[in-house]
Structure 1
C-alpha cells in the first residue's frame, strides 16, 4: 500500500513514498480507500518533528481524508456501508495518518461526504472546520456579540468567519489588502488590516473591546488588548496566556473532537448547504507531497493544498 511519510524528521524533502502493509478494520472501525488528503500546517509539524507522536517510525502525516469505505468492522452498524463516499478526521499515530491509499479509523470519525463535492474539495473540510467550531464554542458567545478573527483568509480563520455568521455573531476580521475581498465574501461584517498591531485597529471599531477573539494568526499576547474585560480568546497552537483583566484563554485541540460524529456530520451538512466553503488551492499527486509542503511553508496559500491518491 502506498503512503507518504518520513523515516527521519526534516524539511519537505524528508517526505518519501512508502510501501506499508494494509490493515483490516477492527471492531468499531472502518477502512477507507483514500482518494484525497488535505495538507495542513499540523502535517508540517509532524514531518519536522515539531509535534510528538506515538508509534513509528515511519511517521505518516495527514488529518483530513476523503474517499470510499471499502471495509466495515464488527459493531459499526448500518450508518456506514462499503462503497459510500465519506470524509474522515484522522488523528495521526506513527504510520497511521491520512497520507495513505488506505486508512483504518474509528467509525465515529467518519461521516458522509458533502453531496456534490469532489474528493479534493471534501478533503479540505473537517480538520479546519472542526477546529473553528471548537474555537467558537470555547468563546461561549451569544447572538449579537462581536467576535474578532485573526488569520481570517486562512482555512481555519475563514471557517470561523462563516460559522460565526451562521451563529448570529457580528464579525470583525483581519486581512491584507489583497485578501479583503475574499474575507468580506466569507461574511465578515468589518475588515481591518492585518498585522502585529491589529488589536489597536479592532479597538478603534469597538472601544470597549470584543467579547471574543479567535486567533488564527498566532498573535497570542498581541491580541489581548483587543478583548473586553472578562472576554475570551481561542488559540490553536497551545498558547494559554496569561492574560489580564479576567480574559479567559482557551487553547483548542481538534483531536479531542475527532469522534464527535454529530458535530462532524453537522459540518459536512453545512458544507453541503453552502454555509461553509470548500476551498482548494491546488491538487498535486501524492508522490509530490514535498512540493505541497514547500508551498504551504512559503505562505500565502489560500484554501488547502490537496494530495491526490488516485
Structure 2
C-alpha cells in the first residue's frame, strides 16, 4: 500500500512516500480504506521528535483520518464493511499513523461518520475534539455562565464558540476586528479587539494563543473561575499573583489532546458527531493536497504559509 512515512525523526524532508506492507489486523481492529487525512501541528512535533512518544519505524505519519471500512477483526461488533468512519487518535503512543491507503484502527478509537462532507469532517476533528474535551471535562462548564475565548477566529477558537453556544453559555471573544462578523455568525454574543485590554468578568477563560498575560486573565476571572491553556507563550513563562488565585478558589488548567484518555476521546467523538449532524463545526477553510505532497504539507504548516487554512491530504 502507498503510505507517507519516516524512518527516523527529523525535518519535513525526511518524509517519504512509498510502499509499505498492509497492516495485519488484530481481533479488535478495523481495516480502514483511507479517503483523507488532516495535517496538524502535532504531526510535525511527532515527526521531528520534539513530542516524545513511542514509535516503531518505518512510522506512518498522521493522526486523523476519514475513510470506509475494508475489513473487520473477529471481535468487532459495531462496524461493518463499507461504513464511512473517522478517527482522531492514531499516530502516537505506539499506534501507527493514518497517512496511508489502509490503516488498522482499534474499534474503541473509531467513529461512524454522519452524512456530511468527509473532507470538512476530517479537517475539523482535531480542533473540535480539543474544544469538546476542554469544555465538557477540563472546565466542566455549566449553562448560563460566561466564557471568554481568546483568539476566537482560529481553528480551535471557532470550535469553542460553536460548542460553548450549544452548551448554553454566554460567549465573548477576542480577535482581529476583521473577524468580528464571522464570529458573530458563529454565535459570539460580544466581540472585542484582541489589541485592547480585557473587559468584563468571566466564569471561564480559554487562551488559545499563549499571548495573553495570565495575571490579566485572573483579574477578570470570577470567584471559582477556571482558565484553560491549550498553548504557552514563546518564552514559556507566566507571572501571576498566587495568593489572589487561591483565595478566590480559581484554577489554571492545561490541556493537550495527545494526553486525552480513551474515555475522553470517546465522549468527544459523540459530541462531535451530534454537532456535525446539526451542521456545526464544519466551517474551516481547507487546502487539499495529494498524499504524495505530505512533506510539502508539513513544511507549509511549519512555515506558517497556510493562510489560516486547514490542510487535508487526499488519499483516493
Whether the aligned pair in 1 keeps the contact of 2:207 and 2:231 (CA below 8 Å) is no
Whether the aligned pair in 1 keeps the contact of 2:152 and 2:161 (CA below 8 Å) is yes
Question: Equivalences for 1:1-310 in 2 at 5 Å?
Answer: 1-77=1-77, 79-93=78-92, 96-117=96-117, 119-137=118-136, 138-194=138-194, 200-201=197-198, 204=199, 206=200, 209-219=201-211, 221-222=213-214, 223-237=217-231, 244=242, 245-246=245-246, 247-255=250-258, 256-258=260-262, 260-299=265-304, 301-310=307-316
With over 3 angstroms needed to count, the CA separation of the structure-2 counterparts of 1:291 and 1:144, relative to structure 1, is same
Report the RMSD for the aligned CA atoms in angstroms: 2.5
Give the distance between the partners of 1:287 and 1:95, measured in 2 at CA: 22
Structure 2 alignment gaps of length 5 or more: none
Provide the TM-score with structure 1 as the length reference: 0.87
Whether the aligned pair in 2 keeps the contact of 1:53 and 1:92 (CA below 8 Å) is no
Comparing 245-254 with 292-301, greater Cα deviation is found at 292-301
With over 3 angstroms needed to count, the CA separation of the structure-2 counterparts of 1:190 and 1:84, relative to structure 1, is same
With over 3 angstroms needed to count, the CA separation of the structure-2 counterparts of 1:30 and 1:240, relative to structure 1, is farther
Give the distance between the partners of 1:73 and 1:220, measured in 2 at CA: 48
Whether the aligned pair in 2 keeps the contact of 1:120 and 1:280 (CA below 8 Å) is no
With over 3 angstroms needed to count, the CA separation of the structure-2 counterparts of 1:95 and 1:59, relative to structure 1, is farther
1:86-108 deviation line (CA, Å, top 9, x unaligned): 11122323571122211111112
With over 3 angstroms needed to count, the CA separation of the structure-2 counterparts of 1:134 and 1:35, relative to structure 1, is same
2:280 partner SS: coil
What count of residue pairs does the alignment treat as equivalent? 300
1:183 partner SS: helix
Whether the aligned pair in 2 keeps the contact of 1:177 and 1:193 (CA below 8 Å) is yes
Whether the aligned pair in 2 keeps the contact of 1:146 and 1:169 (CA below 8 Å) is yes
Provide the TM-score with structure 2 as the length reference: 0.85
Give the distance between the partners of 2:262 and 2:2, measured in 1 at CA: 24
